[in-house]
Chains A and B, each alone.
Chain A
Amino acid sequence: MSPVSRLQSLLERREFTVSAELGPPKGPNIEVITTKIGLLRGMCDAVNVTDNQTAIVRISSAATCALLVQQGIEPIMQMTCRDRNRLAIQADLFGAVALGVRNLLCLSGDHQVFGNHPTAKNVFDLDSVQMIGMVKRLRDEGLTLGGEPVDGAMPMFIGGAANPFGDPFELQVLRALKKANAGVQFIQTQCIYDMVRFREWMKRVTDLGIPEHVHILAGVMPLKSAGAARYINNNVAGIYVPDPIVKRMSAAGKGQKARDEGIRITAEIIEQVREIPGVHGVHIMAVEWEEAVQPLTEMAGLLPRPVLAEGE
């Protein structure tokens, strides 16, 4: 099957890909999206568009992705199971494909208690493994989960997430295999600070043969300050910033100096993950700090991004 997206094309010809992340605004403010597109254009191969990230209501991922397509940026549409049942997920996917979206990241979704509508009823009709299987069926068999034919083709490059830093560690390894078995084609990982644990996770998934079928894109997130690192360690389950990194951030001071150090540390992490067999790209999560992507990709030697010939 020929690649359906730029991201897939680049990965299949073994380019080390770069994806970034665009957090949509908390309302229909297209200017914010356009500004962020300006910060990311030319810096990456595709852009993740989050779906009510951390359960905070924002302009929909599908609509934002359509705007990106219009402006010539390739989106990776994030889709969570938290807010939609199997009917809504399939309907939104039909719409996204019709509007030119080709890359999909299937996620369970952050729990609503962390967001701005903690009293909401969640859905979780499917989980992310089941969503991956459903999308594969839509695409390869042309059938909905209910078994009826899909009217039209569903060219999709199917992605999922993995957290090498979550527990139980063995299940976080095997879950990647479950996703691979369900049909995932690329995996973006949670933010990596702890190289020891990430190397171990990569070794385990490589032993299982996963990178032969699934492109693994290592997730990184530049830190803005030592406080941000400490906040993550104290409040975010499943991400851990090792002490030496916290100390470097502290030593860098405050403001721009700390931000520069955060970018430097991230560039070093990128250099390290690049050397790990099976890592086929990097996913930069500069959440609400899209300005960081240019200096970071520059410092990590990831620019210029490859250009695909027409029809490639």
Chain B
Amino acid sequence: MIVAERKPIAELTSRLAPYRRILVVGCNTCVAVCSAGGAKEVAVTSALLRIALGREHPETRVDETCVERQCEVEMNAELAPSLGNYEVILSMACGVGVQTLAEQFNTAVVIPALNTKFMGRPEGLGEWSERCAGCGNCVLERYAGVCPITRCSKNLLNGPCGGSANGRCEVDPERLPCAWQLIYDRWVALGQLDRYLTNEPAKDWSSSLHGGPRRIQREDIR
């Protein structure tokens, strides 16, 4: 899923300071699952904003709502009738949701409440880790199911570098395992270490963001 984190309240307060009528819009999909922008976080954030913004301007109105998937135009249609009542939308969706609202409601000011972080998964309570960089040409089969592009700090396809010690990455040993240790351990477990000896050629990055913004068109569905 897409993992996001809410911006600090102070940052949101400063961005919203010029406005008196604010609509906070959450999203019930990825960001709800990672406890960043679902109905619960919308309620908490709205309450905090009412207190913070109400100190100087008690007339400030912060209303809240949540849509099922903010990245889909159809799901946001329900917002249209009430938008005239607000000066600004604080979107608690990922960057895709924020952009969808901005594109869909072209006279609305839309401000992001979250920092969209990565595609990842939960690691127990209150912790998430990045697992996919969306490079557009999956190599996981060649690395025993561990992504060196996402999980190696230098994206090495023929790693490891010299900074792998005791299974940890030198960039942040406390938090980061060395991807190449993980790949190695899997290869050994699977009896596939010989795969390492095939040199991986220079990657074609044109399928990734480095090739420019991407779009998928599927004739079988259109």
Q: Does B159 contact A (CB under 8 A)?
A: yes
The size bracket of the interface on A is 35 or more
Q: Does B73 contact A (CB under 8 A)?
A: no
Residue count of chain B within 8 Å CB distance of chain A: 34
- B180 nearest in chain A by CB position: A171
Whether A178 and B199, one on each chain, are in contact in the complex, defined by CB atoms closer than 8 angstroms, is yes
| A-B residue pair count with CB separations less than 8 angstroms | 104
Whether A129 and B205, one on each chain, are in contact in the complex, defined by CB atoms closer than 8 angstroms, is no
Whether A238 and B155, one on each chain, are in contact in the complex, defined by CB atoms closer than 8 angstroms, is no
Whether B162 and A166, one on each chain, are in contact in the complex, defined by CB atoms closer than 8 angstroms, is yes
Q: Does A215 contact B (CB under 8 A)?
A: no
Whether A111 and B170, one on each chain, are in contact in the complex, defined by CB atoms closer than 8 angstroms, is yes
Whether A111 and B154, one on each chain, are in contact in the complex, defined by CB atoms closer than 8 angstroms, is yes
> What string of 1s and 0s marks CB contacts (under 8 Å) between A178-206 and chain B?
10011000000010000000000000000
- B155 nearest in chain A by CB position: A124
**Complex: A257 Cα to B19 Cα, angstroms:** 68
**Complex: A165 Cα to B164 Cα, angstroms:** 9
Q: Does B77 contact A (CB under 8 A)?
A: no
Q: Does A130 contact B (CB under 8 A)?
A: yes
Q: Does B171 contact A (CB under 8 A)?
A: yes
Whether B156 and A108, one on each chain, are in contact in the complex, defined by CB atoms closer than 8 angstroms, is yes
**Complex: A182 Cα to B202 Cα, angstroms:** 12
> What string of 1s and 0s marks CB contacts (under 8 Å) between A87-101 and chain B?
000000000000000
List CB contacts (< 8 Å) of A75-134 with chain B: 81-82, 86, 108-111, 113, 122, 124-130, 133-134
Q: Does A291 contact B (CB under 8 A)?
A: no
A310 to chain B, nearest CB (A): 39
Give the 4 A-B residue pairs with the shortest CB-CB distance, closest first. A163-B162, A237-B170, A129-B158, A237-B165
Write the residues of chain A forming the contact surface with B, with a CB cutoff of 8 angstroms: 81-82, 86, 108-111, 113, 122, 124-130, 133-134, 145, 161-163, 165-168, 170-172, 174-175, 177-178, 181-182, 190, 236-238
Write the residues of chain B forming the contact surface with A, with a CB cutoff of 8 angstroms: 153-168, 170-173, 178, 180-181, 184-185, 193, 196-197, 199-203, 205
